[in-house]
Amino acid sequence: MLAYRHAALSALGSAFLLACDQSMEPTPAVSLAQSPGVTASVSGSGHITREDGSRRHFTIAGARRADGTTTGEYNLESASGAVRLHGSVTCLTVIDNRAFVGGTIDRFNLDFGTPLFGVAIELVDNGEGGAAGPDEISNVFFFVNGPEEIQQYCDDHPVGPVMPIDDGNISVR
């Protein structure tokens, strides 16, 4: 059942991504130091230029799992600022260089005609330096049923299609 909702809600995420506008300067990557008890973390920022020329900017900060709790926040927006999505990270699964992040929506300035409860996104850290390929990000997936659905995404961590980011850095640990 989750796969069906995941695929159906991906269309909403694609609609969000296509609503993005043109130019934006990338924000420097956010650093997250590993501290005792942290079992997984992801941080970073960057932007993506879509096939239609629109751009979106993302930031994920302080997303870490420690002592049984997950903390952090994310922000996604179009270059023009017409689309803004911000929320709290509530679940995180890290497998190798991939982070599967889910969270609640605190602020969103678009109405898709159905109440949205949360989001999920996959981030891929492809390393540092000239020999490393660009880091990658998935489309945004929206959830309508509550925290259990978001947690299910992190538990199942479905590897989905990802696209390279233009500029920026993602750090997955």
> What is the residue extent of each domain of the chain?
2-31+38-172
Identify the band that residue 36 occupies on the pLDDT scale cut at 50, 70 and 90: low
Q: Can you give the pLDDT at residue 59?
A: 93
More confident residue, 12 or 44: 44
Angle at which helix 2-18 crosses helix 147-156, to 10 degrees, equals 100
Identify the band that residue 10 occupies on the pLDDT scale cut at 50, 70 and 90: very low
Global confidence as pTM? 0.78
Percent composition of the chain: helix, strand, coil (DSSP 3-state, to 5): 15, 45, 40
Report pLDDT digits (tens) over 44-81. Answer: 999 998 778 888 899 999 888 887 789 999 999 987 77
Q: Can you give the pLDDT at residue 150?
A: 93
The number of C-alpha atoms within 13 Å of 166 and in the hemisphere containing its C-beta is 16
The number of C-alpha atoms within 13 Å of 164 and in the hemisphere containing its C-beta is 7
